[in-house]
Structure 1
């Protein structure tokens, strides 16, 4: 059974959804990033960047245990392990991979900054809010145009590219975006949100996440604790 060290965040939900879609048995080990659990030495041993999610597969390659951090790497591993949600053909596979990298390099980091400066920053910096809100709109437009040409983000079939992008767009209001401005994206979003495995995946640890951020959580997530040597 795969062990999943995670929390209810977009990157955590990417892996929860993939595991549900693949039908793999897994056990969730909560890592409460607000309380600082990501700095525990046992967690750092498998996720040295102190970020969730991470997994341990006791039945990894050649039957040997394998640990992995970084959600994109985990999606690729699970796709390889199960033969699901990543095409076998070379051209189709790289089409999915380029959009997976788009999520990892642009969607996650930029929308994360939009969340930070619009919602979590202790002071409202108008330049930063405008910068990342505009970037959020730009990225939504890129995805909308893509979905006007292709039924799914990675191509003709549902794939790890869709699984990677979807959780990040669930908080579109917090990113200063109006979903109705992007009709192709909205149709895709509603379809993905209706999938039973997706619905199960986004509920993993959702009840444990605190709706409000206190000063301890702010320090653990954004303060000097991040920069200490652990």
Structure 2
């Protein structure tokens, strides 16, 4: 029978609590999603920092868990049927954790929640990330304005879509869910890390700023913003 010690990643990041979920991550938007979910759901876990500055994500040990070399990834030593479950892709992890805990993915709103989770995975995340690159990082030195404008315009459009969907609601699916745990970190990153919210029409939004404020006010979110703690 497979046990946690059979996974090569545990040789680089040894488990001190091998009976709980092992989280391999970094507090980027996608990493924060899962840290927040674990905190909100009260599931026991052990975080391990995957340091991009040391190219941890490219090591054979990490690639043995996620061949796509992205964070976050988890191993649940008590997966379905009591068998350890390795899992990558933040959206898939959120769904799994919600189903394991029985929280934040109620049957009555299940497909609405999944719809907005996919909206973040396929839209907000990739487009905000590209805008951040062209506005705040190396891409800002590219003289051709078209790449940045393409992603700026699409980020603005997606924000308007989200703003309209939030009218009359505190949370995107009516009640707080894994969709909000996915969306909130990306909004915060656009605003505070990429510093691109103003050029994407943030000032014209009626509901998104207050929505982000509600998200950031949650104690579990505040804890999740720095998990795993950077050295």
**Normalised by the shorter chain, which TM-score bucket?**
0.7 to 0.9
| Stretches of 4+ aligned residues off by more than 6 angstroms | none
Q: How does 1:25-174 map to 2 (within 5 A)?
A: 25-89=44-108, 92-121=109-138, 123-124=141-142, 125-153=144-172, 155-173=173-191, 174=194
Q: How big is the shift at 1:7? A: 0.7
2:197 maps to 1:177: yes
Deviations 1:183-204 (A, max 9, x none): 2111111111100000000021
SS in 1 for 2:23: strand
Identify unmatched segments of 5+ residues in structure 1: 209-230
Q: How big is the shift at 1:175? A: 5.4
CA distance in 1, matches of 2:127, 2:180: 17
Maintained 8 Å contact 1:111/1:175: no
SS in 1 for 2:167: helix
The count of residues paired between Structure 1 and Structure 2 equals 205
Maintained 8 Å contact 1:133/1:175: no
TM-score normalized with structure 2 length: 0.84
Deviations 1:33-84 (A, max 9, x none): 2321111111111111010000000011111100000000000000000010
Q: How big is the shift at 1:206? A: 5.2
Identify unmatched segments of 5+ residues in structure 2: 1-19
Q: How big is the shift at 1:140? A: 1.0
Maintained 8 Å contact 2:30/2:72: yes
SS in 1 for 2:52: coil
CA distance in 2, matches of 1:196, 1:13: 13
Q: How big is the shift at 1:149? A: 4.2
SS in 2 for 1:86: coil
SS in 1 for 2:65: coil
